[in-house]
Structure 1
Amino acid sequence: IYVGLGLLAQPYALQRGGWVVLVFMGLCGLMCAYTGKLVVKCFANMDMTEYMSRGGATWSNLADYLIGPYGQAVVTLLTVTEFFGAGCMAMLMTWRNVAALVPGAEMKWIAVGVTCLVIPSLMLESFGDLAIFSLLGAVAKLLTATLPVIIYCFWKGPAENAAPQYDYVNHETLPMALGVIMLAYSAHACLPSVYNSMEHPKQFPLVVVAAFACMFLMYGVMGGFGYLVFGNTVSPVITQDAADAAQLPWEQALVTTVLCLVSWATYSTTVPVVAVLTDFVSPLV
């Protein structure tokens, strides 16, 4: 859920902020892991007796428990808006990735086809049923994160070009880099649904720490090696640079494979986002 839209943009974050962004990447990961555990503590201290029939551990129920019905309305509106926007972003990214795989197809038919593939996920009864999507999506994202490592170690094209330029810190665009990082770490609104679907909720704090540690490792590898290869010329999405640098047939095949993986990864992000949005809306109707 977390590792999705922001993964391919991590090299661009370093281009905007310099090598110091790796430090902020770790600090943001620690902060988000800590706040994630705080969320769990809040739900653990709730009196769930009156809320079990209204969805259990949800942001709206927590807001109602702490600050009453008006706070519940505000939190519900903000959370639904956030996930609606996230769902739209994930769908747009999926459309663009699929379009790169089938350049001859019209975008409107790609949009219709991908949307039809997402619709069956609305029939799943619980967030736990989405585990297979998350598992396959995690594998796809892990393999995608190795792309800049392969380029750095084996591709001759980037090495034959002029040596890339780097910055240790870029003060002017550092805030933009931090925004890219926080986008990659932003999915706290889904934590209640994950918590509700766990068989052993007491292990959730450990799961949060392990998840953010893995995220930092993936983002660090993707961002560090991507910036090391392409320097300050890296594009907002590194697959564009990889496609331009691919010369040999196996390199072009690798880029095509990565685009397939990215398409599945964005799809696997879209499905849980839509499911969480459904979890928020269904108790209200």
Structure 2
Amino acid sequence: MEKKSIEIYEASSVHSDRESIVDLLAERPEQGSNFLAYANVVCVVAGTGTLGLPYALRMGGWIGVGVLLLSLIMSIYTAILLMKCLYYNGKYRLSSYQEIGRHAFGKPGLIAVWFFHSSIVLGAPIMYLILSGTQLKGLVHTDAISVKAWIWISAAIVAIPFVTMKTLKEVAVMSVFGALATVVLVAVAVRGSVMDLSNPAYADVGHNNIILANLPTTVASISICFGGNVVYMHVEEAMRYPRSWNRVVAAALATCSILYLATAIPGYITYGDLAKSPILDNLPQDNFTKVGTIVIIIHVILAAPILLTSFALEFERLTDITVARRGKVMEFVWRTISRLVVVGFCGGIACTVPYFGDFLSLLGALGNCTLIFVLPILCYFKLIGWRQMKWYELTWCGIIMIIGVISAVIGSIDAIKALKKSFDSDNA
């Protein structure tokens, strides 16, 4: 067999069986295109984190723009390292992030990855339901339906594709519409920010270059904008050309960053220290903003099943909910029941903690900083080794891990304090 260059997965260089990696990365004709994979990543990653970016700049100052660009570079790098770990042994592809953790650190690694992974693939849909419910309440002016009722209505809508579509390959088509919805949302946010530049209410807003005390929380809030690690393994698994992963993930994250900058900079310039999360609460309440609200509701309803499917596939694999094990009919029955329970759980938590901005910060700090910046490097060092890396690569890895750990710890503490303050305010 011809030994082709495998630039995407240099992990194979530590194994003698290089041809087995070639076989693992061979074309998969039955799978989806690179464009669908790109759209999947953009849909999941760009998401609702876009709406919190002007507020993230409010917390940290203009340095947040630099943090965003640094997060982009770090996220691309760790996404590539993570995918190398999937193929580390040169004989077979690992099935998930959890499997990477288990192969690297045994049962403790499996439990650690499972915990942080679950906090994202369940936490992000919970955040989506909070956003969808609150925005629907503002959109439909009636006292007959409460925010909690709108959250449950959103959960019921999300349950339809989540239950009926079994794998990410089937859900992938939805991601194209989700990605387009994000572009429309950004356009609405930019338009509203530019219009409000002449609004007297925002004439004397303040801006900061850097607020050191809030920097870890700013990093945590921005990190959620690059939280695609939880689905990368399943997206790559559904790719026809897995060799193209590096180009796909780099292009997708770069696209997301362009959308982020287009939202964050005008939003912070206009609203400054009055910026809210989500930014929709600042924008002029006209028909265009209503369109943006409708678009974001559509987006979260399309994006939530992608993340939930990622969780469900792992759960069903662990519990043997397969056709081979249960039979076609019972597999469908058990899969339907388990997925409805998952949606019910997410809806219940969303009704209990209906604070979008605070929940966004906690999710970014607790789960994303660890899954995106810390664990991929630790797993890579353990599975493939750090001795083959250049000194500057090791330095770069050390910087990423330090940023990730500090942001996770301090960001989580600050987010929990903010949640407590929100609860206390409501109960006062």
Normalising by structure 2, we get a TM-score of 0.60
Alignment of 1:256 onto 2:290: yes
Name the counterpart of 1:249: none
Q: Which has the higher contact order (CA 8 A, sep 6+)?
A: 1
Alignment of 1:197 onto 2:238: yes
Residues 13-32 of structure 1: pairs in structure 2 closer than 5 A: 13-32=56-75
For 2:310, the aligned partner's letter is V
Q: What is the CA-CA distance between 1:174 and the residue it aligns to? A: 2.3
Name the counterpart of 1:176: 217
Alignment of 1:238 onto 2:279: yes
Q: What is the CA-CA distance between 1:91 and the residue it aligns to? A: 1.8
Structure 1 Cα separation of the partners of residues 115 and 312 of structure 2: 13
For 1:58, the aligned partner's letter is S
Structure 1 Cα separation of the partners of residues 218 and 113 of structure 2: 27
Q: What is the CA-CA distance between 1:169 and the residue it aligns to? A: 1.6
For 2:153, the aligned partner's letter is G
Q: What is the CA-CA distance between 1:72 and the residue it aligns to? A: 2.6
Q: What is the CA-CA distance between 1:108 and the residue it aligns to? A: 3.9
Pick the aligned partner of 2:79 from 19, 22, 36.
36
Alignment of 1:117 onto 2:163: no
SS at 1:172's partner residue? helix
User: In 2, are the aligned partners of 1:142 and 1:218 still within 8 Å (CA)?
Assistant: yes
Structure 1 Cα separation of the partners of residues 206 and 58 of structure 2: 10
For 1:17, the aligned partner's letter is G
Report which of the two structures shows the higher radius of gyration computed on alpha carbons: 2
Structure 2 Cα separation of the partners of residues 228 and 139 of structure 1: 25
User: In 2, are the aligned partners of 1:46 and 1:62 still within 8 Å (CA)?
Assistant: no
Judged with a 3 Å threshold, the aligned counterparts in structure 2 of structure 1 residues 48 and 193 are, in CA distance, closer, same or farther, namely farther
Pick the aligned partner of 2:263 from 208, 211, 222.
222
Structure 2 Cα separation of the partners of residues 253 and 47 of structure 1: 55
Residues 272-283 of structure 1: pairs in structure 2 closer than 5 A: 272-283=306-317
User: In 1, are the aligned partners of 2:135 and 2:297 still within 8 Å (CA)?
Assistant: yes
SS at 1:173's partner residue? helix
Alignment of 1:87 onto 2:121: no
Count of aligned residue pairs for this structure pair: 273
Name the counterpart of 1:136: 177
Name the counterpart of 2:50: 7
Structure 1 Cα separation of the partners of residues 268 and 207 of structure 2: 8
What is the RMSD computed on CA atoms of the aligned residues? 2.1
User: CA offsets per residue over residues 119-160 of structure 1, 9 Å max, x none?
Assistant: 222221220111222111111111111234213444575267
User: In 1, are the aligned partners of 2:196 and 2:270 still within 8 Å (CA)?
Assistant: no
Judged with a 3 Å threshold, the aligned counterparts in structure 2 of structure 1 residues 21 and 107 are, in CA distance, closer, same or farther, namely closer
Structure 1 Cα separation of the partners of residues 146 and 113 of structure 2: 39
User: In 1, are the aligned partners of 2:118 and 2:311 still within 8 Å (CA)?
Assistant: yes
Q: What is the CA-CA distance between 1:66 and the residue it aligns to? A: 3.0
For 2:81, the aligned partner's letter is L
Q: Structure 2: any 5+ residue segments left out of the alignment?
A: 1-43, 320-428
Structure 1 Cα separation of the partners of residues 166 and 275 of structure 2: 42
Structure 2 Cα separation of the partners of residues 164 and 77 of structure 1: 41
Q: Structure 1: any 5+ residue segments left out of the alignment?
A: 247-251
Identity of aligned residues (%): 19
User: In 2, are the aligned partners of 1:11 and 1:227 still within 8 Å (CA)?
Assistant: yes
Q: What is the CA-CA distance between 1:60 and the residue it aligns to? A: 2.2
Structure 2 Cα separation of the partners of residues 71 and 170 of structure 1: 35
* Greater mean alpha carbon deviation, residues 156-165 or residues 133-142: 156-165
User: In 2, are the aligned partners of 1:83 and 1:277 still within 8 Å (CA)?
Assistant: yes
